[in-house]
Amino acid sequence: PSYSLYARPGKISHFKKVARKLSPIIRMKVSSLTKKLRQKKVFVWLKRKLSLAQKKRIEALGLKGMGFVEESKRFYPQGELASSLLGFAGVDNQGLAGVELSYNSELQGEAGHFWIREDALGYEIPFAKDTLQALVPGKNLVLTLDNVIQSMVEQELSLTLKKTKAKSVEALFMDPQTGEILALANKPDYDPNYYSNYSPFTRKNRVVQSLYEPGSSFKSFTASALLQEGLTDLNEKIYCGESVRVANHLFHDWKNFDRDLSVTEIFEIPQTLE
């Protein structure tokens, strides 16, 4: 669990003094805390999702007008593994990216409603909570990812990224018989437990959210049409140079092959005209 700190401004006398004491513990600026404490509200959130250690340090200060609400917190035990696919959840456990966002309504469930009784100082009275509407737990979601394959792919991508010094590298492994995704990885990636420490580019699932040239995948469409119309066969030789002119545009291949290739060989050899 995590602990969210709230304040009741009406019960606090010295806002700046309180802010100075809290600032180093919850890592907020004194000015920001003071501004929150000066709000003319009965209840104000100061900091959500604090650790047990932070909670104990604040309680040791003996400040009046402070309280905690115990909350659940999404935790990703495997850190960076499949992070670009899984995504992450925000402070209220709402999905903000990846599978967490796509299936948020199924994973989140429904909130419950309760009556809470408080004492004269505004603190919750133990064992005096009445349920108005029971909460509905979220559903479980089982993915087709294979942890072993995913881990191996990510290790290889990390090595490739380091070796090539590329801006990013991506990989997708799919079962061709079922269409199940066995592994999907991006490097660099991030730890969803600390997602706010990373840039939008690093958090992006570039396999599915970036645009790529179709490249050699379009060979199958062109060849299928030519074969169906009887305009070529798999053994026909076609000269492949370093460029081809279409109307007034000259497109260059990545390599000057300068030889005849069969239709079968053209499928085997990567070619990209730019």
Q: What is the DSSP letter of 77?
A: T
The pLDDT tens digits of the residues spanning 176-214 come to 999 999 999 999 999 999 999 999 999 999 999 998 877
Model's pTM, two decimal places?
0.64
In a domain, 45, yes or no: yes
Q: Give the total number of structural domains in the chain.
A: 3
In a domain, 94, yes or no: no
* CB count in 10 Å sphere of residue 265: 16
Same domain, 167 and 202: yes
If you write DSSP's letter for every residue of 229-261 in order, what string do you get?
A: TTS--TT-EEEE-SEEEETTEEEEBSS---EEE
In a domain, 9, yes or no: yes
Query: Closest by alpha carbon to 2, among 193, 133, 270?
Result: 193
Active-site residue, from 216, 217, 220, 243: 216
Is the per-residue pLDDT at 115 higher than 90? no
Report how far apart, in Å, the C-alpha atoms of 84 and of each of 97, 186, 191, 240, 244 are: 8, 7, 9, 39, 39
Q: Cis bond leading into 214, ω under 30°?
A: no
In a domain, 98, yes or no: no
Same domain, 17 and 43: yes
The pLDDT tens digits of the residues spanning 77-86 come to 999 999 999 9
Among 163, 189, 209, the domain boundary falls at: 209
Same domain, 204 and 166: yes
Tokens of 74: 């999404």
Q: Which domain holds residue 154?
A: 147-209
Q: Verify whether residue 216 is a known catalytic residue.
A: yes
Same domain, 238 and 193: no
Same domain, 261 and 201: no
Predicted confidence at residue 273, as pLDDT, reads: 66
The pLDDT tens digits of the residues spanning 10-46 come to 888 899 999 999 999 999 999 999 999 999 888 899 9
Same domain, 1 and 69: yes
Tokens of 18: 């309180």
Three-class DSSP category at 28: coil
If you write DSSP's letter for every residue of 165-184 in order, what string do you get?
A: --S-EEEEEE-TTT--EEEE
Tokens of 83: 């992070």
Same domain, 153 and 205: yes
Same domain, 25 and 62: yes
Among 209, 229, 247, the domain boundary falls at: 209
In a domain, 86, yes or no: no
State the helix-helix crossing angle for 15-26 and 30-37, rounded to 10 degrees: 130
